[in-house]
């Protein structure tokens, strides 16, 4: 028994290869940057690091994680479909953001910036793999700390300072909340292993007799992670920070923490677990199974409405996109809120897979939209207000077309990934069976109302680009890496809505959340 356990622990390092490569590459870039300030050199090196990590991932992800249930109940990390998919999302996002950052970051800051980016990517991968509260917390911090640096690096004005400081303070605050929640989970169950915690909560033990502890834990965890996914009421930093920081910083903030936050929520609440850990999956059966969906329901509704309504009032594009990212967090929360009721059913409508699908789609279209702003900006003139885009359809027809694709995808017009994402999310919410059907149909109606509100302000941008003329057309310089980012995002946005890519992604998300059967050697860890 101890033998197996020790072997499992010793084995963990092999699977960590992609993250090890990323951190090693980051170290080299950090150090090397102090000798040579060259964005092309360090950009290429970081790109090579990301590609190497992807290659390592493709080598390691095929290995069947050994140890069965022992691994599940003892190892600090677990290697299932969700881990692999999240790592692919993080690495892919890393490549896109790296190309995006090429232009925005000056030579002097390039090395530090790219190294921070690599560490963030590694952190997101580790969040997905975490099977232990401490590992999870450390992985989340591995994302946060480089983010503070990254927000401040490309721009040094007062707004950027404010953005970095605001994010720093609030992030620390949210981490504290999260730790507080984790401590309650530990107090209730006496273990930090996630699977063991959920298993224990599902047993007939004294921990179930004190539901208030569980509720405090739940609320604190949702609050702590809610900061990362910009859920209302933890969203209020978003507009200021997005506006203050560089475009690439905003794009990164819109994507990476959301991936990490949602995956962490899936993990902590046990929505993705191997078969047999708990009888019905996740928190079902615990005292929390009733309250959690209600909490998420209200959070989703509030987040959608607040994000969309406030976005209507914005004249600054980055603020508008910040509120739009809040709104999209709301749509994803709809999926998260319906997940507890569709656990395990991966053939029909499935909310957890819809959430992951939406994350990918959202990443492509949002990073794309920010990249358009970055592409159009020149050192002398940065694109800030909505009016700056006037007449883009005439002066820059190709860039305008790309922006239109992203915006229509954000609205959710068919033939874009955004539509498929919304469809899957709503489909999941509509398919919630049993007594909660009415609540979730109502949530779906609210989501649709919000999609219509969202249509108004995204369409405003399209209208400005095509239906107005500009007195001072933008004169962007041609820039290959940024253009590559735009094309990749556009291809993903369109391609992921059509077969066969749409089906690949759907299949991958379904596999990621499908309960995996493990060898039957069920051994519970000693506590």
Partner 1 sequence: MDLDYRLALVLLLAVPAAGAVLCALLGRTRGYVIRWVALAATLVNVFLALYVALGLLGERSDSPIAKTPFGKAVTFQPELVPGADVDDIHRTTWKLIDFGRLGAIQFYIGLDGINVWLIVLTAVLMVPSVLISWNSITERINEYYAWLLTLGAGMLGVFLAFDIILFYIFFELTLVPLFFLIGIWGGPERRYAARKFFIYTLAGSLLTFLGLLAVVVVCYHKPLDATAPELTFAIPDLVRIVNTHLTMDLPADRAFWSTFQYWVFLALFAGFAIKVPLVPVHTWLPLAHVEAPTAGSVLLAGVLLKMGTYGFLRLCLPLAPDASLQMGLPLIGILSVIGIIYGAFCALAQSDIKKLVAYSSISHLGFCMLGMFAFNLAGLTGGLLQMINHGLSTGALFLLVGMLYDRYHTRQMADFGGMGAKLGVLTFCMVFISLSSVGLPGLNGFVGEALVFFGMFEVRPLYAVLGAAGIVLGAWYLLSMLKGVFFGPLKEPEHDGHEIKDLCSREVAALAPIMALCLFLGVYPQPVIRSAQDDLRVVERLLQNRKRVLENQSGDALVQKPRLVDEPRRGESP
Partner 2 sequence: MNEPTFDLTTYYPIFLYLVVILGFAAVAMVAVHLIGPRRRTAVKEMPYESGMDPIGDARQRFDVKFYLVAIMFLVFDVELLFLYPWAVVAYQEGGIPLVLRGPVFWGVLAFLAMLLIAYIYDWRKGVFKWR
Q: How far apart are CA 200 and CA 208, in angstroms?
A: 9
Q: Report what 10 binds from partner 2, partner 1, none; CB cut-off 5-8 Å by kind.
A: partner 2
CB of 504 to partner 1, least distance (A): 10
Q: How far apart are CA 262 and CA 281, in angstroms?
A: 18
Per-residue tokens: 223: 């609050």
Q: Smaller CB distance to partner 1: residue 66 or 433?
A: 433
**Which residues are CB-neighbours of 61 under 8 A, at least 6 positions away?**
79, 84, 87
Q: In terms of C-beta density within 10 A (0-12 exposed, 13-18 middle, 19 or more buried), how is residue 313 classed?
A: exposed
206 binds partner 2 (CB under 8 A): yes
SS (H, E, C) 3-36: HHHHHHHHHHHHHCHHHHHHHHHHHHHHHHCCCC
Q: Report what 30 binds from partner 1, partner 2, none; CB cut-off 5-8 Å by kind.
A: partner 2
Q: Smaller CB distance to partner 2: residue 68 or 239?
A: 68
Report whether 523 contacts 70 (CB < 8 A). Answer: yes
86, 10, 68, 183: which is closest to 511 by C-alpha?
86
Cα-based angle 370, 375, 380 (whole degrees, multiple of 5): 115
Q: How far apart are CA 452 and CA 503, in angstroms?
A: 27
| Binding region for partner 2 (CB under 8 A) out of 4-12, 134-142, 367-375, 386-394 | 4-12
35 binds partner 2 (CB under 8 A): yes
Report whether 143 contacts 256 (CB < 8 A). Answer: yes
Per-residue tokens: 300: 């989703």
Q: Report what 9 binds from partner 1, partner 2, none; CB cut-off 5-8 Å by kind.
A: partner 2
| Binding region for partner 2 (CB under 8 A) out of 1-9, 96-104, 222-230, 518-526 | 1-9
Report whether 143 contacts 202 (CB < 8 A). Answer: no
Q: Report what 103 binds from partner 2, partner 1, none; CB cut-off 5-8 Å by kind.
A: none
416-448 exposure pattern, b = at least 16 Cβ within 10 A, e = fewer: bbbbbbbbbbbbbbebbeeebeebbeebbebbe
204 binds partner 2 (CB under 8 A): no
Going through 333-448 in order, the beta strands assigned E by DSSP cover: none
Q: Smaller CB distance to partner 2: residue 68 or 363?
A: 68
CB of 321 to partner 1, least distance (A): 19
Q: Smaller CB distance to partner 2: residue 132 or 388?
A: 132
Q: Smaller CB distance to partner 1: residue 433 or 473?
A: 433
Q: In terms of C-beta density within 10 A (0-12 exposed, 13-18 middle, 19 or more buried), how is residue 347 classed?
A: exposed
Longest dimension (CA), the chain: 76
6 binds partner 2 (CB under 8 A): yes
13 binds partner 2 (CB under 8 A): yes
Report whether 308 contacts 450 (CB < 8 A). Answer: yes
Q: Report what 435 binds from partner 2, partner 1, none; CB cut-off 5-8 Å by kind.
A: none
- Binds partner 2 by CB under 8 A, chosen from 34, 380, 438, 478: 34
CB of 204 to partner 2, least distance (A): 12
Q: Is the four-CA dihedral 136, 137, 140, 141 of positive or negative sign?
A: negative
Cα dihedral: 256, 259, 260, 264 (round 10): 170
CB of 13 to partner 2, least distance (A): 6
- Radius of gyration of the chain from Cα atoms? 22
CB of 499 to partner 1, least distance (A): 6
Size of the residue set binding partner 2 (CB under 8 A) = 13
CB of 362 to partner 1, least distance (A): 18
Q: Report what 411 binds from partner 2, partner 1, none; CB cut-off 5-8 Å by kind.
A: partner 1
Per-residue tokens: 439: 């609540």
30 binds partner 2 (CB under 8 A): yes
Q: Report what 348 binds from partner 2, partner 1, none; CB cut-off 5-8 Å by kind.
A: partner 1
Q: Report what 6 binds from partner 1, partner 2, none; CB cut-off 5-8 Å by kind.
A: partner 2
Q: Smaller CB distance to partner 1: residue 406 or 419?
A: 419
Q: Report what 448 binds from partner 2, partner 1, none; CB cut-off 5-8 Å by kind.
A: partner 1
Q: Smaller CB distance to partner 2: residue 2 or 212?
A: 2
169 binds partner 2 (CB under 8 A): no
Residues forming contacts to partner 1 in the complex (CB under 8 A) are: 346-349, 393, 408, 411, 413-415, 419-420, 423, 426-427, 430-431, 433, 441, 444-445, 448-449, 451-452, 455-456, 459-460, 462-463, 466-468, 498-499, 502-503, 506-507, 510
Cα-based angle 375, 379, 383 (whole degrees, multiple of 5): 50
Q: Report what 419 binds from partner 2, partner 1, none; CB cut-off 5-8 Å by kind.
A: partner 1
**Which residues are CB-neighbours of 500 under 8 A, at least 6 positions away?**
none
| Binding region for partner 2 (CB under 8 A) out of 29-37, 273-281, 296-304, 427-435 | 29-37
| Binding region for partner 2 (CB under 8 A) out of 30-38, 185-193, 287-295, 303-311 | 30-38
- Binds partner 2 by CB under 8 A, chosen from 7, 40, 469, 517: 7
31 binds partner 2 (CB under 8 A): yes
Q: In terms of C-beta density within 10 A (0-12 exposed, 13-18 middle, 19 or more buried), how is residue 472 classed?
A: exposed
Q: Which residues bind partner 2 (CB under 8 A)?
A: 2-3, 6-7, 9-10, 13, 27, 30-31, 34-35, 206
């Amino acid at each position: 028994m101890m033998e197996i356990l020790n072997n499992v622990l010793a084995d963990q390092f092999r699977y960590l290869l992609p993250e090890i490569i990323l951190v090693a590459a980051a170290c080299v870039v950090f150090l090397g940057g102090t000798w040579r300030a060259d964005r092309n050199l360090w950009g290429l090196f970081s790109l090579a690091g990301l590609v190497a990590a992807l290659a390592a991932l493709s080598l390691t992800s095929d290995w069947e994680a050994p140890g069965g249930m022992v691994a599940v109940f003892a190892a600090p990390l677990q290697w299932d479909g969700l881990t692999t998919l999240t790592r692919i999302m993080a690495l892919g996002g890393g490549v896109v953001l790296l190309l995006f950052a090429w232009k925005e970051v000056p030579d002097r800051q390039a090395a530090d910036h790219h190294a921070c980016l690599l560490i963030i990517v590694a952190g997101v991968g580790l969040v997905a793999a975490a099977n232990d509260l401490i590992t999870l917390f450390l992985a989340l911090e591995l994302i946060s700390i480089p983010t503070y640096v990254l927000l401040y690096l490309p721009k040094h004005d007062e707004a950027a300072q404010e953005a970095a400081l605001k994010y720093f303070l609030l992030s620390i605050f949210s981490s504290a909340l999260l730790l507080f929640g984790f401590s309650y989970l530990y107090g209730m169950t006496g273990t930090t292993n996630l699977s063991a915690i959920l298993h224990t909560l599902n047993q007939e033990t004294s921990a179930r007799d004190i539901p208030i502890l569980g509720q405090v834990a739940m609320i604190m965890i949702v609050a702590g992670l809610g900061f990362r996914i910009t859920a209302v009421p933890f969203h209020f930093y978003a507009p200021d920070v997005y506006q203050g920081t560089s475009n690439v910083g905003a794009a990164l903030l819109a994507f990476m923490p959301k991936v990490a936050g949602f995956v962490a929520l899936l993990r902590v609440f046990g929505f993705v677990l191997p078969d047999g850990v708990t009888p019905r999956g996740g928190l079902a059966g615990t005292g929390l199974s009733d309250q959690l969906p209600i909490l998420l329901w209200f959070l989703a509704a509030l987040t959608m409405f607040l994000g969309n309504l406030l976005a209507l009032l914005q004249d600054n594009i980055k603020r508008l996109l910040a509120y739009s990212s809040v709104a999209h967090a709301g749509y994803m929360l709809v999926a998260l809120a319906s997940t507890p009721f569709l656990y395990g059913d991966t053939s029909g409508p499935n909310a957890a897979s819809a959430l992951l699908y939406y994350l990918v789609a959202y990443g492509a279209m949002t990073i794309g939209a920010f990249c358009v702003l970055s592409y159009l900006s020149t050192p002398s003139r940065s694109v800030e207000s909505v009016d700056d885009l006037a007449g883009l359809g005439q002066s820059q027809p190709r860039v305008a077309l790309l922006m239109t694709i992203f915006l229509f995808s954000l609205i959710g017009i068919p033939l874009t990934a955004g539509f498929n994402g919304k469809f899957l999310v709503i489909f999941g919410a509509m398919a919630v069976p049993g007594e909660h059907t009415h609540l979730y149909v109502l949530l779906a109606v609210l989501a649709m109302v919000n999609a219509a509100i969202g249509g108004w302000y995204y369409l405003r941008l399209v209208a400005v680009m095509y239906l107005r003329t500009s007195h001072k057309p933008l004169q962007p310089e041609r820039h290959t890496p940024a253009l590559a980012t735009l094309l990749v995002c556009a291809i993903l946005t369109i391609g992921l809505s059509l077969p066969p890519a749409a089906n690949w992604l759907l299949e991958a998300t379904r596999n990621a959340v499908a309960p995996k059967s493990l060898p039957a050697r069920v051994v519970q860890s000693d506590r």
